[in-house]
Structure 1
Amino acid sequence: MIRVERKQAKRPLESTISLINIVFLMLIFFLVAGRLAPPQDPEVVLSRAETADPLPPPDALYARVDGTLHYREQPVSAEDYLLRFVTRDDTSKPVVRLAADERLQARDLLRHVGALYRAGAGRVVIVTRASSE
């Protein structure tokens, strides 16, 4: 029997184009995703807390130093905020994130928290910043 030597098949060259495309798409995704979070209200300086999470404030309701409530830089009442901007599921009351200016009077803050509870909030969370900032 005659044996004929087979040439090993050449491996196709691996193209790095697909890898570059994936990295580029990930870059675009993170650039867009980073812009989806609304910016912090420029009129509000958050209170400091010893054990605050090192995260930017979420899409929060802001209480300015003059005692007014703002959502995405538009004035709003507690009732209107809960009716128009808070998504509710059928089983629980919504959690409201309230970012209050550090110079806001305590009585005004308590008035806003009370109004949010009366309007139907299940829980009100005060957003602060880390004391190291």
Structure 2
Amino acid sequence: MARKPRKSGGEPTIALINVVFLMLIFFLVAGQVAPPLASDLSLVRTAELEGRAPPDTLIIRADGTMEFHGEPVQSATAFAGTLPEEMREAIRIVPDRELDARTLVGIAAELRGAGAESIRIVTERGLE
């Protein structure tokens, strides 16, 4: 006589329950890491702010012309030479969106050659 095959002991549901329980504990703990904001706090709205360059920044137009405080700048070397020593630590530039990347890199290299320790590019942050 042929023996009937034994049925398997069933699916290991205990392991699945353990995993789900551990995930539940993890999310309960992780959810408490950041405390909620105070209910009476109202956040600042920046949607209607006028976009303009911060003070003391070198503005570079799409055609490569530069200006500082509304005055034209002939070259990046001349601009860096007129700055006080403390402003040369971090020169901030605001390039036009249409400015060629090679032109931007060239101006940055010229600023570094004129003694700028670091160059920071100021951009518009989109919150969409």
SS in 2 for 1:129: coil
**Structure-2 separation of matches of 1:78 and 1:115:** 6
Comparing both chains, which one has the higher relative contact order based on Cα–Cα distances under 8 Å and sequence gaps of 6 or more?
A: 1
Could you say what secondary structure the match of 2:120 adopts? strand
Runs of 4+ in 1 over 3 A off after TM superposition: none
User: Of the two, which has the highest radius of gyration?
Assistant: 2
Q: Hey, what does 1:126 align to over in structure 2?
A: 121
Deviation at 1:93, TM superposition (A): 4.9
Distance 1:94 1:61 in 2: 14
Give the number of equivalent residue pairs.
77
Does the 8 Å CA contact 2:80/2:88 hold for their aligned counterparts?
no
Counterpart in the other structure of 2:69: 72
1:87·1:94 contact (CA, 8 Å) conserved in 2? Answer: no
Specify every segment of 5 or more residues in structure 2 that has no aligned partner in the other structure, as ranges.
Answer: 1-50
What's the TM-score, normalizing by structure 2?
A: 0.53
Match of 2:102 in 1: 107
Give, as a single letter, the amino acid of the residue that structure 2 aligns with 1:68. Answer: T
Partner amino acid, structure 1, of 2:72: P
Q: Percentage identity across aligned positions?
A: 34
Unaligned runs of 5+ in 1: 1-38, 41-55
